[in-house]
Amino acid sequence: MEKKTITFILNGEKRTIEVEPNDILLEVLRTKLGITAPKYGCGRGDCGTCTVLLDGKSVRSCLILAVEVDGHEITTLEGLSKDKLTPLQESFIEHNSFQCGFCAPGMIMTATELLKKNPHPTEEEVKEAISGNLCRCTGYVSIIEAILDASKKY
Amino acid sequence: MSEYKFIGKPINRIDEKDKVTGAAKYVDDINFGPNLLYAEIVESPYAHAKILSIDTSEAEKVPGVVKVVTGKDFPYKFGLYMKDRYIFAQDRVRFIGEQVAAVIARDPKTAKKAAKLVKVEYEPLPAVFDPLEAIKEDAPIIHPELASYPHVPWYYPHGGTNIAHWRKVRKGDVEKGFAEADFILEDTYRIPRYAHCCMETHIAVGFVDYNGRLTIWASSQSPHTQRHLIAEALRPLGFTEQNIREIVPYVGGGFGGKAGVTMEIIAAALATAVKGHPVKVRWRRDQEFYNTYMRQQVITKLKVGVKKDGRITALERTDYWDAGPYVEYGANVVNAATLSATGPYNIPNIKMDGLCIYTNFPAAGPYRGFGYSEIMFSIESHMTRIAKALGMSPREFRKINGIKEGDPLAYGAPMNENGLIECIDKVADAIKLEEKEESKDPKKAIGKGIAALWKAPAMPPNVTCSAFLKFNEDGSINILVSGMEIGQGMYTVMAQIAAEILSVPPEKIRVELPDTDRNPYHWQTVASHSTWLLGNAVKRAALDAREKIFDVVHRALNYEKDHLYLEDEKVKCTTDPDFELPLKDFVINGIMMEDGTYRGQAIVGSGSIMVEFASALQDPETSQGGHPNVHYTVGAGGVVLEIDKETGRVHILKLAEAIDVGKALNPETLKGQLIGGAVQGIATALYEDMRIDENGKILNPNFTDYKIPTSLDIPDEFIPIFVEVPQHDGPFGARGMAEHVMIPVAPAIANAVEDAVGVRVKAMPITAEKIALALLHGKKEVDDFFMAPTKKKEA
Ligand code: FES
Ligand code: FES
């Protein structure tokens, strides 16, 4: 297959790379670019561990081809953490919102989008927003609390 | 009461900064360099078949393929408690998905493409999936050589049958017990298979360097046990524990599924075939369902007799466990569960049989609860049914029979100190068990239910845990252990224990992820025993370091050791209030004397522990004698739920759980664990529903069709309760609780469903469909079990 050159903004930096037309964004981020916060949990859009922001909107990077992000902007958890932690990240720490932590990168990206769109969500809105991000460890309660608490700081 | 500075405090997790920034590295996040190869596994499409031939020639020709291997390359067996499994199938496959061959290639796409070109010729054999069918005389025998398999002394395999292990427990006289009973309830319960569904799928990378040293990076609960089992299996190739190293970074969930050895041994074996290249094996989500342990399916026949006053006189049960085709770990689940299958009750006459049965479903084994979730579903459903039949509150009935300290267990040993009755009362109070509630919506009904629980750590009697501890120049500490942080927050608790003894705050303590070369031995992170046993090892290491600190101060400054104590990172003295010496001033560089010489040493501590009172040697016919379980952790759970009478949909309004943790070392992480485990319990009770066709194929190995709870499926309210009856040999009185929180949830839900709508569901899961159909057809009892439809017999 013929390789394609794509250029996009990754966590604030312009990147140009060669990919195959059927390369999945998640794997390209992880293996070609060393961006490992987005995780493989299912590879078919069911679990949300691979969630990243595409032009500010949360998407599942396991369902997107790398060529699709040509000319766009991608933000991963690494991008949020660059200078200092966001109030949302601080709140996740305060509320002990992780156990194994594998769902965290996707969960935080989804919550970041939520708080941007809706800075003061209700508990129901928080539950609804993260319902596509599976967590097997925490039972979600501490995550919901962290997001609600963080929303007070926006 | 002594006041602790760090113990019992809601200290933040020490790994949280890593996890909130994406810095936490899991195996797949490690960069193995451009020489990395990828493996694709060729899997059996048959549940039971002979392998006639394997032709790898076409696959080998694909550009980018480095090597193709088959069972002939690795005719080696492995297994934790019984050696019944090969790394790759030899002449026979025993489940769909079994590893037959592997293609190693430069990239995953090539490996996948080439794997399709491996031609395998099979001759299908009759398969068996139902454990009751599998023990019939004419059933196909899955392991004809069972009688010759090496196993631990507490397994009793029946060669020539599909019974891999048969645990018998006999106490008192059941016939007499039933004769004395005023009321007897006899019934059958059925529990399907369940999957762990860790968010991180299994992954392992093996690497043999040009010096012949094998390194394995794995997502594992058991670095040392894996190193040992892999060394045992690969001995013919010249490997020993000394030249195998296993490194385990962060792990994305375990729940028992990453204990023992499953796919890690494949990565290790493949690495030996391509020296100089790291080889990665990562399960896709569907492979995760087939090729790691699942929870076993079990059919329980249970009979309990009681007096009018509520005293249980006799209990008889037989549990038929479907362990799949390899029981090297799973048979121990059956063993542990059967020994405790009375539930936490003092029963004088007992007859229990646990049969671990080979079938052609994928291999099953340890899963959070280690068999107790399964046995307690039947017991706790039964207890409530009997209480209601006697016209007694389910709370009172449990309190009458609840086991107390010193009461004899089914196998004769005495029960340990425990707060069972307090847990039952607290939970029943929290949900106002005896008060009937009405839903505001006439289409809905509200019900309440409780269930008690107990669980002992299931471990061999000679399990060892150890810890190293070293000081740094600034007075900070590194602790090295090989217990795994799989999410439970164990490292934080280990830091708290050392912090308390050495008066160094937990934020100045690092606990390092295991590397078998450097970190001391730890059996496996399973059985919810780490807080208790590893906690003791860390405590000993801290005490060892403290002793050395006092020794240095005594030698340099002449203070009596007995007068010294640690406070706020300083050494202080009871007889000289003006004396204080910061740890950082001497723990590495020592204390200078007047003549310019120094007294001291870099302070290190070590601690190790083995349980010396446990024994698995029991009479095989009765299980009497021995001391197989170190102690039990007890508790109770209760739910208030609402059911839509048209759709059968269950919504949990309130979930309360009380666990006697001995001492809550970190109430915050405990609370998180309790809620997470309770939701996992809800998952098995209401949502997860594995479907397998009549050929042994899983129909829903993905999260679209195998539903685990989302944020929308959790109870409206959680009430976590910790009871603290100290464990005499626990660190600061603590005992473990990680798995326990899952155990009471399913039976409490079953009990509440009956309370709400009068339908007793005896076959898990308790789906909306089952409830709605029962209500529609006026059925009071549901036995429907959907997992494996058997072929319709010709009339
Ligand atoms: S890995 Fe993308 S949604 Fe699961
Ligand atoms: S913390 Fe383990 S999956 Fe969410």
Taking only residues 280 to 319 of chain B, the set having a beta carbon closer than 8 angstroms to any beta carbon of chain A reads: 282, 284-285
Are the C-beta atoms of residues B594 and B558 closer than 8 Å to each other? no
CA of B79 to the centre of ligand 2 (A): 29
Burial class (CB in 10 A: 0-12, 13-18, 19+), B790: exposed
B685-741 pLDDT per residue, tens: 999 999 999 999 999 999 999 999 999 999 999 999 999 999 999 999 999 999 999
Are the C-beta atoms of residues B720 and B740 closer than 8 Å to each other? no
Asked if residue B668 has pLDDT above 60, the reply is yes
Q: Active-site residue B145, yes or no?
A: no
Kindly list the strands in the beta sheet with B464-471, ordered across the sheet, starting from the edge strand earlier in the chain: B509-512, B477-481, B464-471, B604-610
Asked if residue B792 has pLDDT above 60, the reply is no
- Residue closest to B56 by CA, chosen among B46, B45, B69: B69
The alpha carbon of residue B24 and the mean position of all alpha carbons in its chain are separated, in whole angstroms, by 23
Nearest CB partner across the interface for A93, out of B12, B673, B675: B12
Are the C-beta atoms of residues B729 and B665 closer than 8 Å to each other? no
A99-118 pLDDT per residue, tens: 999 999 999 999 999 999 99
Q: Compute the nearest-CA separation of A102 from chain B (Å).
A: 5
> Residue-wise over B581-592: b if at least 16 C-beta within 10 A, else e?
bebbebbbebbe
Three-state SS for chain A is CCCEEEEEEECCEEEEEEECCCCEHHHHHHHHCCCCCCCCCCCCCCCCCCEEEECCEEEECCCCEHHHHCCCEEECHHHHCCCCCCHHHHHHHHCCCCCCCCCHHHHHHHHHHHHHHCCCCCHHHHHHHHCCCCCCCCCCHHHHHHHHHHHCCC
pLDDT at res. B423:
98
**Could you tell me which chain B residue has the CA closest to the CA of A126?**
B711
Q: What are phi and psi of B326, to 5 degrees?
A: -135, 120
Q: What percent of chain B has pLDDT over 90?
A: 96
Sequence-ordered alpha helix ranges (H) in B238-371: 264-273, 285-291, 330-339
Asked if residue B795 has pLDDT above 60, the reply is no
**Cα Rg of chain A, angstroms:** 15
Taking only residues 546 to 585 of chain B, the set having a beta carbon closer than 8 angstroms to any beta carbon of chain A reads: none
Q: A96 is written with which tokens?
A: 């002990």
Q: Compute the nearest-CA separation of B739 from chain A (Å).
A: 12
The alpha carbon of residue B125 and the mean position of all alpha carbons in its chain are separated, in whole angstroms, by 33
> Is the torsion defined by CA of B27, B31, B36, B39 positive or negative?
positive
Cis link prior to B715 (omega < 30° from 0)? no
Taking only residues 17 to 46 of chain B, the set having a beta carbon closer than 8 angstroms to any beta carbon of chain A reads: 17-26, 28-29, 31
Helix (H) / strand (E) element for B97: namely none
Q: What angle do CA B742, B382, B177 make, to 5 degrees?
A: 125
Q: Report the 10 Å Cβ neighbour count for B509.
A: 23
Tokens 């340890």 correspond to what residue?
B366
Between CA B367 and CA B690 the distance in angstroms is 15
Between CA B403 and CA B405 the distance in angstroms is 7
Confidence of residue B785 (pLDDT cuts 50, 70, 90): confident
Q: Compute the nearest-CA separation of B528 from chain A (Å).
A: 15
Confidence of residue B786 (pLDDT cuts 50, 70, 90): confident
Asked if residue B793 has pLDDT above 70, the reply is no
- Residue closest to B310 by CA, chosen among B426, B394, B187: B394
Q: Report the 10 Å Cβ neighbour count for B474.
A: 12
Is residue B16 less than 8 Å (CB to CB) from chain A?
A: yes
User: What's the maximum distance between 2 C-alpha atoms anywhere in chain B?
Assistant: 102
Asked if residue B788 has pLDDT above 90, the reply is no
B529-566 pLDDT per residue, tens: 999 999 999 999 999 999 999 999 999 999 999 999 99
**Could you tell me which chain A residue has the CA closest to the CA of B683?**
A136
Overall residue count recorded for chain A in this entry: 154
Helix (H) / strand (E) element for B192: namely none
Between CA B198 and CA B258 the distance in angstroms is 9
Mean pLDDT in chain B?
A: 96
Which of B199, B200, B669 most suits a substitution to test ligand 2, by most atoms within 8 Å of the C-beta? B199
State the catalytic residue, choosing from B264, B657, B739, B754.
Answer: B739
B487-539 pLDDT per residue, tens: 999 999 999 999 999 999 999 999 999 999 999 999 998 888 999 999 999 99
DSSP structural state of residue B528:
T
Sequence-ordered alpha helix ranges (H) in B391-460: 394-401, 420-430
Is residue A141 less than 8 Å (CB to CB) from chain B?
A: yes
DSSP structural state of residue B29:
G
Q: Report the 10 Å Cβ neighbour count for B36.
A: 17
Q: Report the 10 Å Cβ neighbour count for A95.
A: 23
Is residue A111 less than 8 Å (CB to CB) from chain B?
A: no
Is residue B253 less than 8 Å (CB to CB) from chain A?
A: yes
B99-105 vs B633-644, strand pairing mode: unpaired
B26-71 pLDDT per residue, tens: 999 999 999 999 999 999 999 999 999 999 999 999 999 999 999 9
Asked if residue B3 has pLDDT above 90, the reply is no
Is residue B520 less than 8 Å (CB to CB) from chain A?
A: no
Question: What is the atom index within ligand 1 of the atom nearest the CA of A45?
Answer: 3
Tokens 């990754």 correspond to what residue?
A10
CA of B391 to the centre of ligand 1 (A): 51
Between CA A106 and CA B485 the distance in angstroms is 20
Q: In the beta sheet, which residues pair with residue B352?
A: B169, B317
- Residue closest to B765 by CA, chosen among B753, B779, B778: B753
- Measured from the CB, is residue A107 less than 6 Å from ligand 2? no
Helix (H, G, I), strand (E, B) or coil at B634: strand
